[in-house]
Amino acid sequence: MTLTDPVSDAISLLDRQFNYLAKLPPDRFLLQLMSFIQFLRDDPRLGPHVADLMREAEVLRRVPMQRDESFVQRVVALRQEFVRLRPDLDDSMTSPPEPPNIDPEWEFTLAYFDRAAREAPSPLYSLDDSTILGRTSRSAVLIRLLQSKLTQASTPETIQPSLEPVPTVSLPDLRPLNQTLEQLRQEEDHQRRSFIIRARTSAAASLMRIIHAFEELNPPPERLRSGDDWDSGIARRMMAHFRRMDDVRSFLFQRLGNEPTPDSVTAAHSRIRPELDCLYEELRRRLGSTLSGTHLIRRFKARCEAFEARRLRRAARASSRHEAPLEAELARWLFDQGLNPITQTSVANLRPDVVDPFLAHPVFTEAKQYATRSQTQQTRFWVSQVCDTIARLRGTPFQVSEAFLVVFRRGGPALAIDEPSIVVGGETIHVVVIDIAESRVSGSRQRQAPVRLSLREATGGADRPESPGR
């Protein structure tokens, strides 16, 4: 029997598929693009990496939006403080101009500020388009408006002229408010630059832009929404007509004979090809360094439940610390997959069960077990423990992007996880339950009702802001 290296085989297959796609002319390249993405998703060795990238893209987009929302709340609080100090400049009751009239001065009023604060989040944090340099976040708009009001408050023109003698009025000092607002502006500007860097260099963002480009090439049929009339549907289709991929669609799906390739097709190819290069190189790097963490843990779960349940039950029962042999089994599995796990070592004054510090993104796992219903109640504490641990690893060489809580069921009720993964402070926490209980208390023979666990409740809500831990 000949044994081959699965990683080398996956890289070789990826190379062949990419080289074939890269050599195609622009029109065939665009038509073949989604087949390549589907191949990546379906391949058992590449698919987990693609799934990881899609999760990373969601985190890349969602976390800055959450932080921008916190910036918005801070600006609104500063706006309220400004009105308290200078109630004479409160123009929040100013009515907007009647259409089609335009009043540029109204856009510098607190009334406009309040409307902008209630609007939906800005498209700045969208990954669909790489041309994001001209976009502005919602908090940046509010900061600019409030800064203009502070500038107005510091100019003499704000004091109305009068023929009557006016007593000298001591105006409140707005410098502390101005300094706080400037600090907030710098924080928002730093986040915007950081997002643009990640959005323009991340393979996760490239993958989403490739998918979006193909969706523009072959958009699904549009259905009139409830209450729409025929004219509104026509208006939306006319707006869609001016999308930049419209000419490309016409050439790819409606051309007659051997028409020359239009510039729009060449431009679309030139725009998408760098995104594909970025995705290809990242997949190659991930395959060459290690298999996907989620894929490894899922394979470990399947192996334990199918082949090792009886042996693991006996080993856990024979040990004074029931978790110890289960941790060792997980460490051996990770080692066999090419990682270098270290167990029960001190990392940032903590003792995670298994960690591989030699990867660019260290692998962090925490192994737990239970055999009775009362022990399942500790699950929330275990999740909280993982959250605290990864929070304290931030800023150290062992900072992780995802962590795994592996829970072995030796008995007691089944543990039902509402959502197996959740993002907390930018890191993804996965909870994997491995059922090694005897068959007489599993499946249809189980008499106890499953214990449900909501990760959102256990972590106090997803996307918690970063904290230094306890």
Which pLDDT belongs to residue 36? 94
Per-domain residue ranges of the chain:
6-45+204-222+237-289, 56-156+174-201, 293-458
At a CB cut-off of 8 Å and minimum separation 6, what does 174 contact? 82, 85, 86, 150, 153, 154
* Nearest in space to 10 (alpha carbons), one of 61, 64, 53, 48: 48
CB 92 within 8 A of CB 106: no
Q: What is the mean pLDDT of residues 55-80?
A: 89
**Taking a C-beta distance cutoff of 8 angstroms, is the pair 212, 128 a contact?**
yes
Distance between CA atoms of residues 97 and 395, nearest Å: 51
Residue 347 CA from chain centroid, whole number: 26
End-to-end Cα spacing for the chain: 54
Residue 99: its pLDDT value, please? 80
pLDDT value for 182 = 95
The whole-angstrom separation of Cα 294 and Cα 454 is 19
Q: How far apart are CA 435 and CA 408, in angstroms?
A: 6
DSSP, res 179:
H
Mean pLDDT of the chain: 81
Chosen CATH of 293-458 out of 1.10.10, 3.40.91, 3.30.70, 3.30.160? 3.40.91
What is the C-alpha separation between 432 and 326, in angstroms, rounded? 14
Given a cut of 80, is residue 246 above it in pLDDT? no
Q: Which amino acid is at 291?
A: L
Which tens digit of pLDDT belongs to each residue from 192-243? 888 888 888 999 999 999 988 888 888 777 665 665 554 555 444 444 444 5
Q: Measured between alpha carbons, how far is 58 from 62 in angstroms, rounded to an integer?
A: 6
pLDDT bin (cut points 50, 70, 90) of residue 167 is: low
Residue 329's identity, in one-letter code, is: E
pLDDT for the residue 468: 33
Q: Specify the range with the lowest mean pLDDT, choosing from 21-35, 36-50, 282-296.
A: 282-296
Q: Could you read off the pLDDT of 302-316 as tens digits, one per residue?
A: 999 999 999 999 999
Q: Are strands 415-417 and 402-409 parallel, antiparallel or unpaired?
A: unpaired
How far does Cα 103 stand from its chain's mean position?
39
- pLDDT grade, residue 279 (50/70/90)? very high
**Which residues have C-beta within 8 Å of that of residue 384, sequence separation ≥ 6?**
458, 459
pLDDT value for 121: 64
375 vs 168, 382, 451, CA distance in Å? 72, 11, 11
